[in-house]
């Protein structure tokens, strides 16, 4: 890189992946789509010096589930790439091949929100208790413990 | 059981047990605060080893099980198994506000309601987390119980019915041991 | 030779916290491992959405008993930024003092545990004895040894009296003396050098690639420290240095931590001596406006991030907690490959794992490392 990376250059470069918005003096938020996330991260890594994934956050927006990939680089500017996934079929490609730590985050999101990451080699459930029933995602807004379902632990004998 | 064994060897064992209780600590899903306070007990400041209290890694060697914190769903069966591995007579201390009722975690989805839903508890220690001196006090209280039980020939004299608790749906439950 | 699967944990004498390793070993060498960290999952994030800001702070403090102030501070810092509150300087300084005392007690604790796992129990006893001085200071200031409960939205709940400041300053010289001794020991004590050098090596590239944070990353020469990169509390005003090391092994991580211990004593000393006068809190509104923030904080174990979204009520819409230990697990799995089974406790202890933090939202990681 010849010139220093600033908020403006990042915003300029990342424009092609979606709407760019500066939310804090050192944080840029980019609203993109699942198909472009791979390219966006590759570009950020190769051209803009983003070398670390801080975390993947998830929010339940009601109709959609939102994923936010927060990346940081040596210039200490954060980009948050956000994705909106439909609630009934939340599927997105994995980024664990580009960012190895994402593997962990994706697995926990899969268990707690039921988002499927296509291409993640190890997606089986182990996050929650072994006896946790299928298709119950505790961090979704509409989830409530169901009295008739056994969630694991030990069975107790009623008096 | 029921009639105290007053033979010479049994009295010697009871005496030894009360003078040097061995303890095992099980973190059943606590926030670590209770655990570091237990380790602090072993350190030069409080130094429980001078009272003969020894912390062991294996439940098979232990007289007293200290359960730190509430019990998560995943830990419930493991805690039960650890408790089953202990030799009789065994005592359980539930540590902290979480051990008694769940504390701030009361009602969270991935938890068993309280420790006594899983194993019968003999002594509760209040505090979040209890100070090391309170932990020592709890062990001493447990030793008094141990001596009284030895005199009565078992735990039955103070347990009219099995330990009870409340399960996740608010119904009372009993532990079958 | 056929591969053997060794299962360690969750209840094991060498482990202080519930974790399960399934280690695939070829002879004495580790081929790969599976971690199961989910024993402490409680569901705090769900509960945080249902409690208001006053009630959620004690809950978040209990995400972890060792870095409790970190979780409460990072959350209140984020909410205050959303509300646009300016925190009085005295409150900032008090928060900084507690934060650095917490770092000191955490690092002393770690040094003791690391010494314990290599069988050097003398140092274990020494560091924990010295840690009591820090605990006493914290207890005097906050009223509790572990969960301090100092934070509230808009400032801190307790002021420091001149007597408390004086008592804390009186304890510092003895601590500094001891920490100097530890710095010397780490570099010269044969027992530690033999067991720490070249164990769990991680290069700078690997540390970046696998997302290591905190002292683990800084020991490999990765120069990330939120306190300097994105200054919060009083760190912009206090003179201090980021400690890095180039060894990349457990020895390097020990050097970084004892170096940070020294820096922490100096930060605490500076803050106590230059404590500004004034109020300790501002009145915070009951509700926070709509907004979102990624609040970052350098906890003793590394970078802690809370992603907070508010919706105009007195509760959060979502708080997503990413703890430093969680970020470090991938790198630990990489470190362990090709090491001796006997070195597992040292390497795992070297990232200073804090499992109750990690599994507030449980995570299990399985790294199928391509043969190296």
For residue C32, cis peptide bond before it (omega within 30 degrees of 0): no
- N-term to C-term CA, chain A: 72
A138 touches chain B (CB under 8 A): yes
Fold annotation for A7-93: Beta Polymerase; domain 2 (3.30.460)
What pLDDT, on the 0 to 100 scale, is given for residue A3?
A: 60
Per-residue pLDDT tens over the stretch C231-275 = 888 888 888 888 888 888 888 889 999 999 999 999 999 999 998
Q: How many other β-carbons are positioned within 10 Å of the β-carbon of residue A58?
A: 24
What pLDDT, on the 0 to 100 scale, is given for residue C94?
A: 92
Task: For chain B, give the secondary structure using H, E and C.
Answer: CCCCCCCHHHHHHHHHHHHCCEEEEEECCCCCHHHHHHHHHHCCCCCHHHHCCEECCCHHHCCEEEEECCEEHHHHHHHHHHHHHCCCCCEEEEEHHHHHHCHHHCCCCCEECCHHHCCCCCEEECCCCCCHHHHHHHHHHHHHHHHHHHHHCCCHHHCCCCCEEECCCCCEEECCC
Beta bridge partners of C36: C20
Q: How confident is the model at residue C177 (pLDDT cuts 50, 70, 90)?
A: very high
Which B residues, 133 through 172, put their C-beta within 8 Å of a C-beta on chain C?
none
In the block, tokens 């211990």 appear at: C261
Per-residue pLDDT tens over the stretch C274-314 = 989 889 888 888 888 888 888 889 888 888 888 998 888 88
Q: How confident is the model at residue A155 (pLDDT cuts 50, 70, 90)?
A: low
Are the Cβ atoms of B174 and A145 closer than 8 angstroms? no
What pLDDT, on the 0 to 100 scale, is given for residue C364?
A: 30
Distance from CA of B51 to the nearest CA of A (A): 36
CB proximity list for C63: less than 8 A, separation 6 or greater: B31, C44, C71, C321, C323, C356, C357, C360
Are the Cβ atoms of A153 and B175 closer than 8 angstroms? no
Task: List, edge to edge, every strand of the sheet that includes C302-310.
Answer: C291-299, C302-310, C316-322
Beta bridge partners of B174: A157, B164
Q: What is the mean pLDDT of chain C?
A: 83
Nearest by Cα to A49 from A9, A103, A18, A100: A9
Interface test with A, best of B28, B29, B72, B73 (most A CBs within 10 A): B73
Beta strands in chain C (DSSP E): 4-8, 20-26, 29-36, 151-152, 155-156, 291-299, 302-310, 316-322, 366-367
Q: How confident is the model at residue C369 (pLDDT cuts 50, 70, 90)?
A: very low
What pLDDT, on the 0 to 100 scale, is given for residue C96?
A: 92
C125 touches chain B (CB under 8 A): yes
What pLDDT, on the 0 to 100 scale, is given for residue C229?
A: 85
* Closest residue on chain C to A126 (Cα): C364
Per-residue pLDDT tens over the stretch A41-80 = 888 888 888 888 888 888 888 888 888 999 888 888 888 8
Enumerate the residues of chain B whose CB falls inside 8 A of the CB of residue A152.
Answer: 73-74, 76
Q: Look up residue A4 and give its two tokens.
A: 């220093």
CA pair distance A53, B4, nearest whole angstrom:
65
CA pair distance B134, B118, nearest whole angstrom:
24
Minimum-distance CB partner of A128 among B110, B164, B176: B110
* Closest residue on chain B to C113 (Cα): B39
Buried-state track C97-131, b at ≥16 Cβ within 10 A, e below 16: bbbbbbbbbbbbbbbbbbbbbbebeebbbbbbbbb
Which C residues, 27 through 86, put their C-beta within 8 Å of a C-beta on chain A?
36, 38, 41, 43, 45-46
Enumerate the residues of chain A whose CB falls inside 8 A of the CB of residue C329.
Answer: 104
Domain ranges of chain B: 8-174
CA pair distance B174, A144, nearest whole angstrom:
25
Minimum-distance CB partner of C43 among B36, B109, B128: B109
Residue C365 to residues A126, C21, C37, C40, C359: CA-CA distances in angstroms? 9, 10, 8, 15, 12
CATH for the stretch B8-174: 3.40.50.12280
Does position C366 have pLDDT exceeding 70, yes or no? no
Are the Cβ atoms of B173 and A138 closer than 8 angstroms? no
Distance from CA of B30 to the nearest CA of C (A): 7
A159 touches chain B (CB under 8 A): yes
* Percentage of residues of chain C with pLDDT beyond 90: 14
Residue C212 to residues B60, C150, C219, C333: CA-CA distances in angstroms? 38, 29, 10, 11
What pLDDT, on the 0 to 100 scale, is given for residue C262?
A: 92
Domain residue limits at C303: 46-322+342-352
What pLDDT, on the 0 to 100 scale, is given for residue C206?
A: 85
Which C residues, 330 through 369, put their C-beta within 8 Å of a C-beta on chain A?
330, 361-368
On the CB side of A158, how many CA atoms lie within 13 Å of its CA?
A: 4
Q: What is the mean pLDDT of chain B?
A: 81
What pLDDT, on the 0 to 100 scale, is given for residue C371?
A: 29
Q: How many other β-carbons are positioned within 10 Å of the β-carbon of residue B45?
A: 16
Per-residue pLDDT tens over the stretch A100-154 = 888 888 888 888 888 888 887 777 666 777 778 878 888 888 888 777 777 776 7
Minimum-distance CB partner of A26 among C230, C363, C364: C230
Buried-state track A91-103, b at ≥16 Cβ within 10 A, e below 16: ebebbbeebbbbb
All partners of chain A with 3 or more CB pairs under 8 angstroms: B, C
Domain ranges of chain A: 7-93
Per-residue pLDDT tens over the stretch C102-130 = 999 989 988 888 888 888 888 888 998 89
**Predicted-complex ipTM score:** 0.87
Are the Cβ atoms of C327 and A55 closer than 8 angstroms? yes
Per-residue pLDDT tens over the stretch C42-100 = 888 888 888 888 888 888 888 888 888 999 999 999 999 999 888 999 999 999 999 99
pTM score of the predicted model: 0.87
Q: Which residues of chain A have a Cβ shorter than 8 Å from any chain C Cβ?
A: 23-24, 26-27, 51-55, 57-60, 68, 70, 72, 76, 78, 80, 99-101, 103-105, 107-108, 111-112, 121-122, 126-129, 138-139
- Return averaged pLDDT per consecutive 10 residues of chain B, 177 residues in all: 71 83 85 85 86 84 87 84 87 88 82 82 88 89 86 74 54 48
Enumerate the residues of chain B whose CB falls inside 8 A of the CB of residue A132.
Answer: 73
Tell me how many residue pairs between chain A and chain B have CB atoms under 8 A apart. 49
C324 within 8 A of A101, measured Cβ to Cβ:
no
Enumerate the residues of chain B whose CB falls inside 8 A of the CB of residue C143.
Answer: none
Sort strands C316-322 and C302-310 into parallel, antiparallel or unpaired: antiparallel
* Closest residue on chain A to B165 (Cα): A156
Enumerate the residues of chain C whose CB falls inside 8 A of the CB of residue B59.
Answer: 11
Distance from CA of A159 to the nearest CA of B (A): 6
C62 touches chain B (CB under 8 A): yes
Residue C328 lies in a domain: no
Residue C348 lies in a domain: yes
All partners of chain C with 3 or more CB pairs under 8 angstroms: A, B
In chain C, the number of structural domains is 1
What pLDDT, on the 0 to 100 scale, is given for residue C362?
A: 33
The CATH number of the domain where C120 resides is what?
Answer: 1.10.645.10
Q: At what angle do helices C324-336 and A102-113 cross, to 10 degrees?
A: 130
């Amino acid at each position: 890189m010849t010139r220093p990376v600033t908020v403006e250059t990042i915003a300029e470069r990342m424009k092609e992946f979606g709407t760019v918005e500066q939310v804090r003096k050192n944080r840029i938020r980019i609203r993109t789509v699942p198909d472009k996330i791979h390219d966006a991260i590759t570009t950020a890594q190769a051209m803009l010096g983003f070398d670390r994934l801080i975390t993947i956050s998830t929010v339940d927006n009601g109709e959609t589930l939102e994923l936010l990939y927060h990346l940081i680089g040596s210039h200490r500017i954060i980009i948050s790439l956000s994705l909106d996934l439909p609630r009934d079929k939340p599927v997105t490609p994995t980024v664990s091949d580009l960012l190895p730590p994402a593997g962990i985050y994706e697995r926990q999101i899969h268990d707690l929100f039921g988002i499927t990451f296509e291409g993640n080699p190890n997606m089986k459930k182990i996050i929650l208790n072994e006896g946790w029933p299928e298709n119950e995602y505790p961090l979704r807004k509409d989830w409530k413990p169901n009295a008739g379902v056994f969630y694991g632990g030990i069975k107790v004998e009623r008096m | 059981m029921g009639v105290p064994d007053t033979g010479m060897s049994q009295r010697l064992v009871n005496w030894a047990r009360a003078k040097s209780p061995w303890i095992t600590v099980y973190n059943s899903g606590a926030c670590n605060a209770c655990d570091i306070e237990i380790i602090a007990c072993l350190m030069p400041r409080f130094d429980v080893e001078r009272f003969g209290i020894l912390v062991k890694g294996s439940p098979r060697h232990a007289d007293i099980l200290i359960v730190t914190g509430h019990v998560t769903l995943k830990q419930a069966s493991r805690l039960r198994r650890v408790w089953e591995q202990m030799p009789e007579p065994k005592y359980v201390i539930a540590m902290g506000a979480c051990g008694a009722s769940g504390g701030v975690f009361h009602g969270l989805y991935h938890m068993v309601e309280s420790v006594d839903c899983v194993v019968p508890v003999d002594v509760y220690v209040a505090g979040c987390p209890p100070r090391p001196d309170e932990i020592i006090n709890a062990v001493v209280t447990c030793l008094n119980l141990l001596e009284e039980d030895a005199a009565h020939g078992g735990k039955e004299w103070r347990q009219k019915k099995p330990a009870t608790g409340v399960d996740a749906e608010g119904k009372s439950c009993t532990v079958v041991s | 030779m056929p591969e053997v699967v060794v299962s360690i944990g969750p209840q094991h004498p060498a482990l202080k916290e519930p974790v399960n390793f399934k280690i695939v070993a070829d002879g004495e060498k580790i081929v790969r491992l599976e971690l199961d960290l989910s024993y402490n999952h409680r569901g705090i994030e769900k509960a945080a959405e249902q409690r208001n800001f006053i009630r959620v702070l004690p809950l978040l403090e209990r995400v972890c008993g060792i870095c409790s102030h970190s979780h409460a501070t990072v959350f209140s810092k984020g909410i205050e930024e959303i509300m646009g509150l300016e925190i009085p300087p005295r409150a900032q300084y008090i928060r900084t003092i507690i934060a650095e005392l917490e770092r000191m007690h955490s690092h002393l604790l770690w040094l003791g545990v690391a010494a314990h796992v290599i069988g050097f129990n003398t140092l274990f006893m020494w560091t924990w004895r010295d840690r009591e001085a820090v605990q006493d200071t914290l207890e005097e200031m906050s009223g509790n040894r572990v969960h301090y409960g100092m934070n509230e939205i808009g400032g801190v709940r307790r002021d420091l009296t001149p007597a408390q400041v004086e008592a804390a300053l009186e304890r510092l010289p003895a601590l500094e003396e001891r920490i100097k001794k530890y710095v010397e020991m780490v570099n010269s004590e044969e027992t530690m050098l033999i067991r720490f050098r070249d164990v769990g090596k991680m290069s700078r590239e690997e540390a970046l690639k696998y997302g290591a944070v905190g002292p683990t990353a800084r020991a490999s020469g990765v120069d990330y420290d939120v306190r300097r990169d994105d200054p919060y509390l009083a760190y912009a005003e206090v003179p201090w240095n980021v400690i890095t090391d180039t060894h990349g092994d457990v020895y390097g991580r020990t050097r970084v931590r004892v170096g940070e211990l020294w820096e922490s004593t100096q930060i605490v000393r500076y803050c106590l001596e230059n404590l500004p006068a004034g109020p300790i809190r501002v009145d915070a509104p009951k509700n926070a406006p709509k907004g979102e923030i990624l609040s970052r904080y350098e906890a003793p174990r590394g970078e802690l991030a809370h992603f907070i979204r508010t919706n105009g009520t007195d509760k959060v819409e979502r708080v997503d907690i990413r703890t430093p230990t969680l970020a470090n697990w991938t790198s630990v799995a990489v470190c362990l490959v090709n090491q001796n089974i006997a070195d597992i406790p040292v390497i795992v202890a070297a990232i200073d794992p804090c499992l109750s933090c990690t599994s507030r939202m449980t995570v299990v990681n399985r790294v199928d490392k391509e043969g190296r």
